[in-house]
């Protein structure tokens, strides 16, 4: 339930703060006073988009705030859904749900739920759970056949099944696109297959390895300098070990001399140790050089093989990406493409099987949804017809037509229900349309073609009344649902609203005294001029004020005794 509404600096409204009650809340006022502006402001709480033009002149921003009653201890379905939204967005659960929108001239519009900043999508999600707003022109939606299935689904409670169906519907759509892309790719790959096979053969004939080139370059560097290495190692080894005055022989003589000195004077002990160390190091060096020299081979043929190998690798690098790693990645890619080209038939069969399974899966859900719709259609036909009789469309017949259209399997746009092909769309495989007869003895005809303006309003109210008993939205808002009706029929519309208010909080804008007289809470919108500025205000009326307001609706600005008497009669006092 909406407990209160605050609107600041929105169009003609400077500052309105109003508290609403349970049951039937009626808003009246002269044409142009700002009733619809107030409804538009309420729309902001439902997540509707707003332009900066709504900001009142000389103000920096518009603010709309609604406070809803929130009993999260109850197990009412809509309350559980609201609670889930709040928890998912880490919003505090408070005894009241406070939704606020700020529309700024600077463009930095903001949304808050319980003082927590949230994106507009959260406001919209909560609004859909809390309020059903029926604007002045919404009844025209009944004239669009494509909307009829949505009304039926609200009554049928097919939401979960539709979600499952639409998951498979999307998967089917995606898989069909992938298959089409695969077939197009098949033609392209077949054209490229010869090139790919040539490139694969060329790369595989070399069989490059990722770090191979660096190792070969290092090895070639050594091999190309093998003569120089052999000459230098021979020279060093000769000087260290083999010449008559080799370094090691000389050091041996020096070592013996130092040993003799150390026996005479112990201060030579350190020098003796260092000499021993030096001799050991030289022996190690000469041993390393001897071994290294023994492994040097002068093999021109092997050197040439390495050069040829490097040439082949260099050619691949230049043709396929600049590095051996890029060559290998290219080989992997074209290998997959070539393999795909060779196995297209298998892949296409695999895709077609998956698509067939998805067609059947969509068909299973579509059939379940259709059965629920058919069951609900019988109930909604009976309820709407009964309500229409109460609203003055006597002897009416109301029919919900549900049809399916078989499809040609060659069209590709079909699902399978019990192995039969049917046309389908986002809603399933049902085609739903409302039919009506408003006069006795006449056959039912498409609603969009035969209903008058006043009848459309009453049909919409009948639908809303029927749906509302099944849909537990706490608040229903009607902006001039009484369009096109008057007199006795207006009284019946008012009684229908009054009856509906037993299940929901109702806020309704009306210009008819017959409806206003049934209000449990009555508010009047007034437009005033002050200092060359126009202001709209909203006031909750007391009993005497209500009598005069309803009398004004009956007789205009000049209130007569008879209009006052009539107002009291309409109010039942």
CA distance 326 to 495: 79
CB 119: neighbour CB atoms within 10 A? 11
DSSP string, 281-339: HHHHHHHHHHHHHHT----HHHHHHHHHHHHHHHHHHHHTTSSHHHHHHHHHHHHHHHH
Whose CA is closest to 401, among 380, 420, 387?
380
- Stated as kind and residue range, the H or E segment containing 64 is strand 61-69
Q: pLDDT tens digits, residue range 467-484?
A: 766 666 788 888 877 777
Residues of the chain scoring pLDDT < 50: none
Asked if 430 and 465 touch (Cβ cutoff 8 Å), the reply is: no
Distance between CA atoms of residues 240 and 290, nearest Å: 11
> Cα separation of 371 and 290, whole Å?
95
Long-range contacts from 199-205, C-beta under 8 angstroms, 24+ separation: 199/320, 199/330, 199/331, 199/334, 200/331, 200/334, 200/335, 200/338, 202/316, 203/316, 203/320, 203/327, 203/330, 203/331, 204/331
- Residue 485: helix, strand or coil by DSSP? coil
In the chain, where are the structural domains located? 1-136+473-541, 212-319
* Strand ranges in 314-439 using DSSP code E only, listed in sequence order: 397-403, 415-417, 420-422, 431-437
Tokens, residue 360 = 């059947």
495/192 Cα distance (integer angstroms): 76
- By three-state DSSP, how is residue 56 classified? coil
- Torsion over CA: 405, 411, 412, 416 (sign): positive
Per-residue confidence (pLDDT) for residue 218, from 0 to 100: 83
Residue indicated by tokens 């609604």: 66
CA distance 378 to 115: 45
Structure-block tokens of residue 228:
């120089």
Q: Rounded to whole angstroms, what are the CA distances from 489 to 134, 142, 255, 388, 398? A: 20, 20, 132, 11, 19
Residue 538 pairs in a beta bridge with 525
Q: What pLDDT does 76 receive?
A: 59
Q: Which of 103, 31, 35 is nearest to 64 (CA)?
A: 103
What was the pLDDT predicted at 307? 86
Residue in this structure with the two tokens 């002050």, named with its chain if needed: 530
Distance CA 545, CA 26 (A): 14
pLDDT at position 547, please? 92
Residue keyed to tokens 């895709």: 351
Among candidate residues 7, 111, 133, the one with its CA nearest the CA of residue 49? 111
Maximal C-alpha separation, the chain: 150
Alpha-carbon torsion angle 527, 492, 439, 397, nearest 10? 110
CATH topology of domain 1-136+473-541: Rossmann fold (3.40.50)
Give the number of other Cβ atoms within 10 Å of residue 4's Cβ.
14
pLDDT confidence of residue 454: 66
């Amino acid at each position: 339930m909406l407990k209160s509404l605050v609107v600041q600096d929105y169009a003609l409204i400077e500052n309105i703060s109003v508290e609403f009650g349970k049951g039937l809340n009626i808003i009246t006022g002269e044409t142009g006073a700002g009733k619809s502006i107030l409804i538009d402001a309420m729309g902001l709480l439902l997540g509707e988009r707003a332009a900066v033009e709504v900001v009142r002149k000389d103000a920096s921003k518009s603010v709309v705030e609604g406070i809803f009653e929130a009993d999260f201890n109850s197990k009412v379905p809509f309350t559980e859904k609201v609670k889930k939204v709040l928890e998912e967005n880490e919003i505090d659960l408070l005894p009241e749900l406070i939704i606020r929108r700020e529309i700024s001239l600077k463009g930095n519009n903001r949304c808050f739920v319980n003082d927590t900043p949230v994106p507009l999508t959260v406001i919209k999600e909560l609004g859909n759970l809390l309020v059903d707003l029926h604007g002045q022109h919404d009844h025209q939606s009944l004239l669009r056949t494509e909307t009829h299935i949505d009304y039926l689904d609200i009554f049928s409670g097919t939401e979960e099944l539709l979600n499952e169906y639409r998951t498979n519907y999307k998967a089917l759509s995606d898989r069909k696109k992938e298959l089409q892309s695969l077939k197009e790719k098949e033609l392209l790959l077949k054209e490229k297959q010869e090139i790919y096979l040539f490139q694969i053969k060329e790369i595989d004939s070399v069989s490059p390895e990722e770090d191979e080139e660096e190792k070969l370059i290092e090895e070639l560097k050594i091999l190309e300098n093998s003569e120089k290495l052999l000459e230098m190692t021979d020279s060093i080894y000769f000087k260290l070990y083999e010449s008559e005055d080799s370094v090691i022989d000389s050091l041996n003589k020096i070592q013996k001399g130092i040993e003799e000195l150390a026996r005479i004077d112990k201060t030579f002990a350190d020098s003796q140790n260092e000499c021993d160390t030096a001799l050991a190091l030289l022996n190690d060096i000469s041993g390393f050089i001897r071994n290294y020299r023994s492994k040097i081979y002068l093999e021109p043929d092997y050197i040439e093989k390495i050069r040829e190998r490097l040439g082949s690798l260099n050619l691949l690098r230049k043709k396929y990406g600049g590095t051996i790693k890029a060559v290998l990645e290219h080989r992997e890619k074209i290998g997959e493409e070539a393999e795909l080209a060779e196995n297209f038939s298998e892949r296409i069969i695999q895709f077609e099987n998956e698509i067939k399974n998805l067609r059947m899966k969509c068909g299973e859900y579509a059939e379940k949804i259709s059965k629920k719709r058919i069951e609900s259609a019988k109930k909604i036909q009976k309820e709407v017809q009964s309500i229409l009789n109460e609203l003055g469309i006597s002897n009416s017949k109301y029919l919900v037509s549900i049809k399916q259209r078989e499809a040609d399997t060659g069209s590709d746009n079909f699902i399978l229900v019990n192995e039969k092909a049917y046309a389908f769309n986002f809603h399933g495989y049902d085609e739903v349309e409302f039919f009506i007869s408003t006069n006795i003895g006449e056959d039912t005809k498409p609603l969009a073609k035969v209903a008058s303006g006043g009848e459309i309003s009453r049909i919409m109210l009948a639908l809303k009344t029927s749906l509302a008993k099944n849909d537990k939205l706490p608040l229903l808002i009607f902006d001039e649902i009484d369009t096109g009706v008057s007199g006795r029929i207006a009284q019946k519309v008012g009684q229908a609203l009054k009856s509906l208010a037993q299940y929901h909080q109702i806020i309704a804008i009306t210009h008819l005294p017959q409806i206003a007289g049934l209000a449990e809470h009555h508010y009047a919108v007034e437009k005033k001029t002050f200092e060359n500025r126009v202001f709209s205000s909203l006031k909750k009326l007391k009993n005497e004020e209500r009598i005069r307001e309803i009398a004004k609706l009956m007789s205009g600005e000049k209130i007569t005794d008879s209009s006052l008497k009539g107002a009291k009669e309409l109010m039942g006092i």
